């Protein structure tokens, strides 16, 4: 059972645009169907969490943008996040002491229904499992794009999700995959993932599928320019309250391009008869066995430093992919 000391926890809160702090949390007593999770790692999903941290979620999206265990309302104060990996300290016998993933904010310890945690496969390190939510988004994007064996695929924007889309596509037989980004250091990341890299000027044209994940108007224009006749351009970026200008003149109509949105909140229509959100996240976790994916974790810091870390990560325009937060429980288990 929980002792008196463990009935409290600490959590990261965004208290105002661009400012966060650690706050004490009192844990509810776990019920018969609950688990108590002691956090080992969490991941900062830089694109979305930067938008939330800077207070850029548009009011009309407040409800749709709520994270599963969010506390507080946009623009804040609020507790937000969805990439938590921990050890079950208390719960059903089949889960106790197992490593699990949950769509939970950055918090040292928490109580959730047992149905809200997902077992991390034994061959997936806990430290890499923080990529699960990003992998789930990438998997959904690949489905929305309809990428098939033999396709010429370009991903514009080598952030975490863009890199994962490129990696998934590259594992299809015969696919020619190219990552396009303005940050030349992404060439090394692409190489680690086993995919080609090119700046826009040298990128292949006449592509069958183009996925855009740069979060910029310039990137979207580049994606449209690289697409071949009657190709699909899938938009994976989320811009918050920013207005984006797209080059829908030029050859957009003559090329008969399709510009399609992808968003992880819903399964693609052609998958809904058989797939659930739980099945999709379970599959995403199972895809994290490959050591090459560690190249997407570009930084790690302690939970105690998170108020300063979030300022740095949310302001980084290109250096950070996934930033991992390390908790005291991870340090203890490694000792």
Residue 119 burial (C-beta neighbours within 10 Å; 0-12, 13-18, 19+): middle
Helix or strand run (H / E) with residue 169: helix 160-170
Distance CA 268, CA 262 (A): 8
pLDDT at position 4: 41
pLDDT at position 335: 55
**What pLDDT, in 10s, does the model give residues 247-291?**
899 899 999 999 999 989 899 999 999 999 999 999 999 999 999
Residue 217 burial (C-beta neighbours within 10 Å; 0-12, 13-18, 19+): middle
Residue intervals of the chain classified under CATH 3.40.50.720 are 134-271
Residue 174 burial (C-beta neighbours within 10 Å; 0-12, 13-18, 19+): exposed
pLDDT at position 334: 67
For residues 142 and 170, the answer to whether their CB atoms sit within 8 Å is no
For residues 193 and 221, the answer to whether their CB atoms sit within 8 Å is no
What b/e string do you get for 292-325 counting C-beta neighbours within 10 Å, with b at 16 or more? Answer: ebebbbbbebebeebeebbeebbeeeeebbbbbb
pLDDT at position 316: 79
Distance CA 321, CA 213 (A): 12
Choose among 225, 239, 233: nearest CA to 259: 233
Distance CA 208, CA 148 (A): 10
CATH architecture entry for 134-271:
3-Layer(aba) Sandwich (3.40)
User: If you average pLDDT over every residue of the chain, what do you get?
Assistant: 94
Residue 154 burial (C-beta neighbours within 10 Å; 0-12, 13-18, 19+): buried
Q: What is the mean pLDDT of each run of 10 residues along the chain (335 residues)?
A: 63 97 96 96 91 94 94 96 97 96 98 98 98 97 97 97 98 97 94 97 97 94 96 92 87 94 92 96 98 96 97 84 94 67
- The pTM of the full predicted model, rounded to 2 decimals, is 0.94
**What pLDDT, in 10s, does the model give residues 155-181?**
999 999 999 999 999 999 999 999 999
3-class SS of residue 189? helix
159 CB-near residues (< 8 Å, 6+ apart): 46, 47, 213, 214, 215, 321
Residue with tokens 């979620």: 57
pLDDT at position 46: 84
pLDDT at position 318: 64
The runs of H, that is alpha helices, within 171-327 are 186-193, 217-226, 277-286, 306-315
146 CB-near residues (< 8 Å, 6+ apart): 209, 232
Residue intervals of the chain classified under CATH 3.90.180.10 are 5-128+292-334
What one-character-per-residue DSSP string does 272-293 give? Answer: TTT--HHHHHHHHHHTTT-GGG
CATH 3.90.180.10, applies to 5-128+292-334: yes
98 CB-near residues (< 8 Å, 6+ apart): 87, 88, 119, 120
């Amino acid at each position: 059972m929980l002792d008196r000391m463990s009935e409290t926890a600490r959590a990261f809160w965004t208290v105002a645009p661009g400012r966060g702090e650690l706050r004490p949390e009192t844990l509810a007593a776990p019920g018969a169907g609950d688990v108590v999770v002691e956090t080992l790692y969490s991941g900062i999903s830089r694109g979305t969490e930067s938008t939330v941290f800077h207070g850029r979620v548009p009011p009309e999206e407040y409800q749709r943008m709520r994270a599963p265990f969010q506390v507080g309302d946009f623009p804040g104060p609020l507790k937000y996040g969805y990439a938590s990996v921990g050890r079950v300290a208390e719960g059903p016998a089949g889960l106790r002491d197992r490593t699990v993933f949950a769509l939970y904010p950055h918090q040292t310890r928490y109580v959730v229904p047992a149905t809200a945690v997902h077992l991390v496969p034994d061959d997936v390190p806990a430290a890499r499992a923080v990529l699960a939510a990003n992998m789930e988004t990438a998997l959904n994007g690949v489905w929305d794009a309809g990428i098939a064996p033999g396709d010429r695929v370009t991903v514009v924007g080598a952030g975490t999700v863009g890199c994962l889309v490129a990696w998934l596509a590259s594992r299809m037989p015969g696919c020619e995959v190219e990552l396009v980004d303005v940050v030349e250091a992404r060439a090394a990341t692409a190489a680690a993932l086993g995919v080609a890299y090119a700046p826009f000027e040298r990128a292949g044209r006449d592509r069958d599928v183009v996925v855009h994940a740069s979060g910029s108007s310039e990137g979207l224009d580049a994606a449209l320019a690289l697409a071949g006749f009657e190709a699909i351009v899938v938009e994976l970026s989320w811009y918050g309250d920013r207005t984006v200008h797209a080059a829908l003149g030029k050859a957009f109509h003559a090329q008969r391009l399709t510009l399609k949105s992808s968003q992880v909140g819903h399964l693609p229509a052609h998958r809904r008869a058989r797939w659930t959100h739980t099945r999709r996240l379970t599959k995403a976790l199972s895809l994290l066995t490959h050591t090459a994916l560690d190249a997407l974790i570009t930084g790690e810091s302690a939970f105690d430093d998170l108020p300063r870390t979030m300022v740095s990560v949310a302001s980084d325009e290109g250096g950070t992919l996934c930033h991992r937060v390390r908790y005291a429980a991870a340090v203890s288990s490694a000792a």
